[in-house]
Structure 1
């Protein structure tokens, strides 16, 4: 594929363009004109973050013309089995988690709150805007065609209660006895795979560890504990490790099928 600059534009804006011309926001115009220095008449790629990729030509500093709008240059179907990372927001490093999980191929990122969480004073509305911007940049950089969804923050127990029968959840833990690691847990999901779809989650806990109340709830709810490593990992390291294991498992599934 050609090595062209990429710009992610919301599906809503793509569907509402007129005469194949896309008007750019000030930030988008700054990016292609000042950062990437795209000249008038040059091509770039546009993606909607939902599988479609178009070629576009810069016709003005604030306008692109999308060629063959009705027929994307490339289209990628959504994955059958989706991957999710649920992370108790750490004191630092969460933005790096967003970038790297996006690059690896995670489909859902769920910020969580817990009793032993270090960083609890969070303006979530403002943070979600910032986090979405970071994910958008990572999608452009990594040349993904599907943008991960970052969900609204939830308390860990309320989040577990809200899962449905199309989702499977494993909880990473370090100081509790567990009979399997994440790889082994994934290999045991064959019955669920026969349903042809669903989300596979791994939950990364707080830097201070889960509280006794939370662990008690996990046991009562029959949640599966898994290990990611024999060593104690930082939240960011654990998140990337789990994301890589999940993505490799899905890739192996596609090769076998």
Structure 2
């Protein structure tokens, strides 16, 4: 594939363009004109985060033309088995988690809060716009065709109660001897492999650890504990480690089948 500059444009904007011309926002125009120095007449790639990639030509400083709008240059089907990371938001480093989980290939990112969370003053509604911008930039950088979804923040127990039978959830824990590691748990999920749209989650707790009330809830509801490492990991390290294990498992499964 050609090494062209990529620009992420939401699917809502893409489907509403007129005469194959896409009007750019001020930030997008600045990026193409001042940062990437794309000249009029030059081509770039446009991605919509829903599997499609188009070639587009810069016709004005604030306008691109997509000549083959109805026939994308490339289309990629969404993965059959989807991967999710649910993370109790740490005091520092969550934006790095968003970037790296996106680059690795995670499909859903769920911000959580819990009893021992260090940063309890988060305004999720205000943060979600910035977090989506960070994910969008990571999609462009990593050349993914599907943008991960970042969900609204929830309390860990309320989130667990809202899971359905299409979702398989493992909960990372430390200092617990009698539990699977994440790889082992994934290999035991064979009954769900043929369910299109199944989501395989790993939950990363706060750096202070789960509270006794949360542990009791998990045990009473037969939730599965897993370990990610023989050492104690920070939230950001655990999130990246879990994301890599999940993605490698999916890739290995596709190769075998």
The root-mean-square deviation of aligned C-alpha atoms, in Å, is: 0.7
- Structure 1 residue runs of 4+, over 3 Å off? none
Structure 1 partner of 2:111:
111
Following superposition, the deviation at residue 126 of structure 1 comes to 1.5
Unmatched 5+ stretches in structure 1: none
* 1:1-257 correspondence to structure 2 within 5 Å: 1-257=1-257
Q: TM-score, normalised by structure 2?
A: 0.99
Query: 3-state SS of the aligned residue for 1:86?
Result: strand
Query: Offset of 1:195 from its aligned partner?
Result: 2.4
Partners in 1 of 2:247 and 2:93 — Cα distance? 21
CA deviation after TM superposition for structure 1 residue 178, in Å: 3.0
Deviation digits for residues 38-75 of structure 1 (CA, Å, limit 9, x no counterpart): 11000000011000000000000000001200000000
Distance across 2 between alignment mates of 1:114 and 1:142: 31
CA contact under 8 A between 1:103 and 1:138: conserved in structure 2? yes
Change (3 A) 1:191 1:34: same
The separation in 1 between residues aligned to 2:111 and 2:43, in whole angstroms, is 37
- What is the distance in 2 between the residues matched to 1:14 and 1:240? 32
Instruction: Verify the 8 A CA contact 1:178 1:227 in the aligned structure 2.
Output: no
Q: Which runs of no fewer than 5 residues in structure 2 stay unpaired?
A: none
Number of matched pairs? 257
| Aligned-partner Cα distance in 1 for 2:176–2:163 | 23
Alignment TM-score, normalising by the size of structure 1: 0.99
Shift of 1:125: 1.4
The superposition leaves residues 24-51 of structure 1 with CA deviations (integer Å, 9 ceiling, x where unpaired) of 0011111111111111000000011000
Aligned counterparts of 1:65 and 1:108: Cα–Cα separation in 2: 31
Q: Distance in 2 between matches of 1:131 and 1:43?
A: 28
